[in-house]
Amino acid sequence: MRRVKIIGTGSYVPSKVLSNHELAARIETSDAWIVARTGIRERRIAAPEEATSDLAFAASVQALEMAGLSAEKLDMVLVATVTPDMQTPACAVHLAHKLGAKNAFAFDLSAACAGSLFAMSVASQYIATGAVKSVLVVGAELLSRITNWEDRGSSILFGDGAGAMVLVPTEEADSPERGLLKLQLYSDGSAADILCIPGGGSRFPLTPESFLARHNKVSMRGREVYKFAVTALVQAVERIFSEHNISLEQVKHVMAHQANVRILEAILERIGIPIEKAHININRYGNTSSASVPLTLDEANRAGKLQAGDLILVMAIGAGMSWGAGLIRW
Ligand code: UT7
């Protein structure tokens, strides 16, 4: 079984910035409240003509370029998203077509904010068995299209963006320590209603009434999500370390899904990892769901902050609830 390494990363955020002050002019909130409760100062909003595969494309081009791989060499394109271009076919199919990834099969994966970790896990299994050699994993979200902009409890959180990673098997020449060491995933559907888009699916197809009631937009019970997230991710991370002969002190970087900086602070404090090890960009991008981990990874990578051999802790949680944690040796 081959281990997986990341040989290219890329990211993209739309150019339009939406600040807390602009939001406060539309709904009853304030910059001070949003910063204090979430750490968010601004987020990016896609242009009307942009769709999720456009964001994914821009991030993917960068990742492929860094990997030194042409799109035709890809065997598999996997997009984690809850905001595909259309209900069907998959966003990944549109992306593969735009990239010219003619030899790849492509599909989407829905695990909300934990999507990039779920996609990385799927890709690593395909690679480990030798079924494929090179996989493009993308987390891309256009959350501004599914945000209920009248709900101050959730609309302040979300932003648009994409992050991409090229995954291949480790080689003989690589350190035996390199690559994705462990990734454990979890799901709990009993908490499905605390964060969901209730309408527009087969359970509650859209009607004119439900459309007006915004049932096709995100519905969230924030405080419950917050508590669930802290408890679940602390357990997930503690399990990773208890099952491996790796100490917390060895972690150099934390690349976490950023939903709220307070959630991240609470988790790291309980686990005992200094917050300074976390790469944080939620202040600039808000919660970008499945894009946030690969987007953060790419920013750190391009800034030259990741050295060969560095141990990276990844974690993410989102609707489902779906969550996971893992370790990557860079
Ligand atoms: O990616 C995974 C998905 N999402 C998350 O992880 C989100 C998790 N949850 C959160 O981040 C937080 O729960 C929020 C940021 C959404 C809310 O923060 P909170 O500290 O949990 O506030 P709360 O919901 O308990 O509300 C406290 C007060 C309430 O007023 P009262 O009842 O105390 O008078 C809210 O009505 O704050 C009020 N409030 C606001 N005030 C100003 C709620 N939203 C706002 C707002 N501006 N935007």
**287 in catalytic set:** yes
- Residue type for position 257: H
Ligand 1 pocket: which of 82, 141, 223 to mutate (most atoms within 8 A of CB): 223
Separation of 286 CA from ligand 1 center, angstroms? 14
Residue 62 to residue 29: CA distance in whole angstroms: 37
What per-residue confidence (pLDDT) applies to 287?
Answer: 97
Of 256, 312, 263, 314, which Cα lies nearest the Cα of 289? 256
Is the shortest distance between the CB of 33 and ligand 1 below 6 Å?
yes
**244 in catalytic set:** no
What per-residue confidence (pLDDT) applies to 53?
Answer: 98
**281 in catalytic set:** no
What per-residue confidence (pLDDT) applies to 175?
Answer: 83
* Rounded-to-5 percentages of helix, strand, coil across the chain: 40, 25, 35
Of the CA atoms within 13 Å of residue 312, those in its CB half-sphere come to 26
Angle at 267 between CA 79 and CA 305, to 5 degrees: 60
Separation of 58 CA from ligand 1 center, angstroms? 33
Separation of 69 CA from ligand 1 center, angstroms? 44
Catalytic residue among 94, 257, 279, 301: 257
Can you point out the beta strands (E) in 221-321? Answer: 251-256, 311-318
Separation of 34 CA from ligand 1 center, angstroms? 9
Helix (H) / strand (E) element for 10: namely strand 4-12
Question: Which tokens is 73 given?
Answer: 């060499």
C-alpha 203: how far from its chain's center? 26
Is the shortest distance between the CB of 31 and ligand 1 below 6 Å?
no
Is the shortest distance between the CB of 191 and ligand 1 below 6 Å?
no
Low-confidence ranges of the chain (pLDDT < 50): none
Burial class (CB in 10 A: 0-12, 13-18, 19+), 117: buried
